[in-house]
Amino acid sequence: MSDTDDGDGDAVSEDAFYPSVRAWLRDEFSPERIEHDVYMENSERFPDFIVELSHEAIAIEVDVTTDRAIKGAGQAHLYTGELDAINYGPTVRPAIAVPKGVVDEPELTYLRSTIPVYPIPHPYPPTTTDS
């Protein structure tokens, strides 16, 4: 099994999922609020996305499998701690984005009790056909 395979054959790579996440975030929050390349010097990492709102920011980790989403929740919490430590700006809270339907129950319930989870359709926007 590859590191992007969730075991059911319907795997999507993070690289393939990023455009869906970016498009969804732009639709939900507006393009000018989305940051992608914020470098955190202490850990030498980049959060996948940061959404800047008027009173807070959201550090979003993108993951594509159940196991990665569980680890990604911890990673997103680390991002918030480091962004707060460098006085990034507004209060930063963590979140994860996952392909809709990929994270198994009860893991999804557990994750939602600890961190906001954004299940995003892939591809996004969903393809529709006109009649």
> What residue segments make up the domains of the chain, in order of their start?
32-120
How far apart, in whole angstroms, are the C-alpha atoms of residue 9 and residue 22?
24
Positive or negative, the CA dihedral 114, 118, 104, 81 is negative
Write the DSSP assignment of 60-99 as a string of letters.
Answer: EEE--SHHHHHHHHHHHHHHHHHHHHTT-SSEEEEEEEEE
Those residues of the chain that have pLDDT short of 50 are 1-9, 130-131
Predicted pLDDT of residue 51? 96
DSSP, collapsed to helix, strand or coil, labels residue 119 as: strand
Q: What is the pLDDT of residues 78-109, one digit of tens each?
A: 999 999 888 887 799 999 999 999 999 899 99
Predicted pLDDT of residue 37? 80
Q: Which CATH architecture has domain 32-120?
A: 3-Layer(aba) Sandwich (3.40)
Predicted pLDDT of residue 116? 97
Predicted pLDDT of residue 129? 56
How far apart, in whole angstroms, are the C-alpha atoms of residue 14 and residue 90?
28
**What DSSP designation does 31 have?**
G
How far apart, in whole angstroms, are the C-alpha atoms of residue 19 and residue 30?
15
Predicted pLDDT of residue 50? 95
